[in-house]
Amino acid sequence: MKAVITVIGHDTVGVIAKVSAVCAALNINIEDVTQSIMQELFCMIMLVDLSVANASSADIHARFAALGQEMGMQVTLTRQEVFDAMHVV
């Protein structure tokens, strides 16, 4: 199962390292990453694979929400199913 992690907020040192550390702890494989600074905001999108994650979906969402609060950024995880459902008529 694929998912997209988005990170948005004021740029600080170690953002990628912190998000990657949570992914490693949860056994989430990072497949692709893009990042940029847009008008003073750090923006990152990660494509990840949740197929062998060692936590429930609720626990994964909670970990990334807590990380976002810790960093003062918005960190969200959206499963591929949501994107797929948006294109079903």
Average pLDDT of 10-17?
92
Q: What is the chain's mean pLDDT, rounded?
A: 93
CATH code: domain of residue 28: 3.30.70.260
Helix/strand/coil (H/E/C) assignment for every residue in 9-75: EECCCCHHHHHHHHHHHCCCEEEEEEEEEECCEEEEEEEEECCCCCCCHHHHHHHHHHHHHHHCCEE
Is residue 88 pLDDT above 80, yes or no?
Answer: no
Is residue 83 pLDDT above 80, yes or no?
Answer: no
* pTM of the full structure: 0.89
pLDDT digits (tens, 9 = 90+) for 17-59: 999 999 999 999 999 999 999 988 999 999 999 999 999 999 9
Helix axes 57-71, 15-25, angle to 10 degrees: 160
Q: Which residue range forms the structural domain that includes residue 46?
A: 2-86
Structural domain count, the chain: 1
